[in-house]
Amino acid sequence: MSEAERVIIFDTTLRDGEQAAGGTLNIQEKLDIARQLERLGVDVIEAGFPVTSPGDFDAVSLIAEEIRTPVICALARAHPKDIDGAWEAVKQAKHPRIHVFLSASDIHMLHQLKKSREEVLEMSRSMVARAKQYIDDIEFSPMDASRAEPGYIYQVLEAVIDAGATTVNIPDTVGYAIPTEFGDLIEGIFQNVPNIDRAVVSIHCHDDLGLAVANSLEAVKRGARQVECTINGIGERAGNASLEEIVMAIKTRGDLFDLTTNIRTAQIYKTSRLVSELTGFPVQPNKAIVGANAFSHESGIHQDGVIKMPITYEIIDPRTVGIPASSLVLGKTSGRHAFRERLAELGYSLSEQDFNRAFIAFKELADKKKKVADKDIESLIAEELRTVSEIYHLDRVQVSCGDRGIPTAAVRLVTSDGQVLADAALGTGPVDAVYKAINRLVKVPSVLTEFTVKSVTEGIDAIGEVLVRIESEGVTYTGRGADTDIIVASAKAYMNALNRLLVAKKTA
């Protein structure tokens, strides 16, 4: 297909996705996600908003240096300091981009910016021109475009394209638009902006009314050729358009769109799992494409149809998005070769050192479980390969509890310099006792704000995954842990969150 028939996939998981409440990532986690986005085949990675913090600046700079195939984009307000900082962050990228934004709706101009249309127009033009002094690849977004007066949007776009913008992005910032309405706005831009042929038209839709994907696809039908989206649809408030849904809609309904993307769809499931693991946001079971129930069939009629011919009730082969259809079962007699093959089918490519660690953990799990399912393996790999530095390592947990006894927990930690610490505590329950014992050793003020437990697979011997969120000095830190013993999983999750907190304070 020709270039004009390709939709550019602009992933903003590391910028807008991270703005979701509680979704903070450290530098190494951002780099890990960026590497996977490169394997996925995204065209543009919006790596962050450099001016917001030294940590975000450093993360964008590191990604710009290490990720070579996609365009690496930095967000900037229409302000000289932001523009200059964005350039400093991405200047080492092989394909750098600066993304400038400024509100364009009367609502924002009146109540937030307190500026006139003429002032906003001049700021937009001049800041794009400033960015153009550094770089040729400039994107501009008139924020809240879906609630702005279309004629004014046309005027702004014409001015920024003349100033050097090569991509103009139309944001449905608050998820207000309806598909036909948003499509009309895109069509109007093509008809009323005289120099629009000099820029790629992009869209960035939010999901406040559950229409982000629908609005994005309608815009693509009307001529937009870049879609801004996130893995699992995470982002501000109700989130963004979901990358996996956009891509698979275009691929599955080729008869309707006659378009293509550069996405390697077999990497979708692994990418979804990684982002869920590192952000701490679980994927709901009924989530399209990557949810646990997306390819599950309980109705007898559906099961009968799928057995006879999968296409009767499955419009997508699960293997297309990286979900293996194989029913190979691993157990305690399985060897290294079988385990390595299963990891490859699940999309994991581990170093020899990481593989050896994972295989030992697999054997320990297989001794506890008769059958080890794919989801058990995914949970195990995530547990073994957590990227957060450990200031304290959980070495041992022992609890005593019952309806007549006082819940008691003993905990042993090992510090990064090898010091062994141990203490015990009483609590209202076993998990409370464990957390109190850990707090006595770690001594970092924090408040537990969320505690969630879920089973990875079915059965009494299932792995339990625990997600916790703690808050310290107004910042939220997420931790996850997995084990066949839910108390141990709870302790691992809490230590994971505390280590994130400690690493953040150490690098601040």
Query: What mean pLDDT is reported for the chain?
Result: 89
Give all strands (DSSP E) within 78-229, no chain letters.
Answer: 96-103, 138-143, 167-172, 200-205, 226-229
Q: Please check the confidence at residue 300 and state whether its pLDDT lies above 60.
A: no
**Structure tokens belonging to residue 33:** 């996600």
Higher-confidence residue of 326 and 359: namely 359
Could you give the percent of the chain with pLDDT greater than 90? Answer: 64
Provide the b/e sequence for 224-243 (b: ≥16 CB within 10 Å): bbbbbbbbbbbbbeebbbbb
Higher-confidence residue of 334 and 481: namely 481
Give the side-chain half-sphere CA count within 13 A for 147: 14
Residue 356: per-residue pLDDT: 85
CA–centroid distance for 500 within its chain:
18
Token pair 């194989």 is at which residue? 326
Q: Which range, of 159-168, 377-386, 411-420, 423-432, averages the lowest pLDDT?
A: 377-386
Q: How far apart are CA 488 and CA 438, in angstroms?
A: 12
Higher-confidence residue of 263 and 483: namely 263
Q: How far apart are CA 475 and CA 494, in angstroms?
A: 16
Q: Please check the confidence at residue 116 and state whether its pLDDT lies above 50.
A: yes
CA-to-CA dists, residue 378 to 90, 107, 149, 270, 457, angstroms: 33, 46, 49, 9, 11
∠ CA 495-367-285, nearest 5°, is 60
Banded model confidence at residue 353, pLDDT cuts 50, 70, 90 = confident
Q: How far apart are CA 120 and CA 407, in angstroms?
A: 62
Banded model confidence at residue 1, pLDDT cuts 50, 70, 90 = very low
Pairing of strands 71-77, 96-103: parallel
Q: Phi, psi (5° rounding) for residue 473?
A: 55, 40
Q: How far apart are CA 99 and CA 73, in angstroms?
A: 7
Residue 175: per-residue pLDDT: 97
Q: Please check the confidence at residue 475 and state whether its pLDDT lies above 90.
A: no
Q: How far apart are CA 404 and CA 495, in angstroms?
A: 29
Pairing of strands 475-483, 464-472: antiparallel
State the Cα torsion 310-314-315-319 to the nearest 10°: -80
Residue 4: per-residue pLDDT: 45
Query: What is the arithmetic mean of pLDDT over 205-226?
Result: 98
**Structure tokens belonging to residue 116:** 């006139």
- Model pTM above 0.85: no
Higher-confidence residue of 225 and 329: namely 225
Give all strands (DSSP E) within 49-151, no chain letters.
Answer: 71-77, 96-103, 138-143
DSSP 463: P
Comparing C-alpha atoms, which of 305, 285, 284, 301 is closest to residue 293? 285
Q: How far apart are CA 144 and CA 175, in angstroms?
A: 9
CA–centroid distance for 397 within its chain:
32
Query: What is the arithmetic mean of pLDDT over 13-39?
Result: 88
Per-residue pLDDT tens over the stretch 222-269 = 999 999 999 999 999 999 999 999 999 999 999 999 999 999 999 999
Comparing C-alpha atoms, which of 477, 98, 139, 69 is closest to residue 279? 477
CA-to-CA dists, residue 84 to 16, 76, 244, angstroms: 21, 9, 33
Query: What is the arithmetic mean of pLDDT over 272-296?
Result: 85
Token pair 């499509």 is at which residue? 183
Could you give the percent of the chain with pLDDT greater than 70? Answer: 92
Amino acid 4 reads A
Comparing C-alpha atoms, which of 120, 99, 117 is closest to residue 171? 99
Q: Please check the confidence at residue 302 and state whether its pLDDT lies above 70.
A: no
Which of 24-33, 237-246, 298-307, 452-461 ranks highest by mean pLDDT?
237-246
Burial of 341 (0-12, 13-18, 19+ CB in 10 A): middle
Query: What is the arithmetic mean of pLDDT over 160-183?
Result: 98
**Structure tokens belonging to residue 223:** 């001529």
Query: What is the arithmetic mean of pLDDT over 3-25?
Result: 85
CA-to-CA dists, residue 245 to 106, 181, 269, 327, angstroms: 32, 21, 12, 26
Q: Which range, of 35-44, 192-201, 499-508, averages the lowest pLDDT?
A: 499-508
Higher-confidence residue of 281 and 51: namely 51
**Structure tokens belonging to residue 97:** 């981009």
Dihedral sign for Cα atoms in the order 204, 207, 210, 213: positive
Q: Which range, of 25-29, 147-151, 322-326, 351-355, averages the lowest pLDDT?
A: 322-326
| Residues 252 and 220 sit within 8 Å (Cβ to Cβ) | no
DSSP 332: T
Per-residue pLDDT tens over the stretch 83-107 = 999 999 999 999 999 999 999 999 9
Q: Please check the confidence at residue 41 and state whether its pLDDT lies above 70.
A: yes
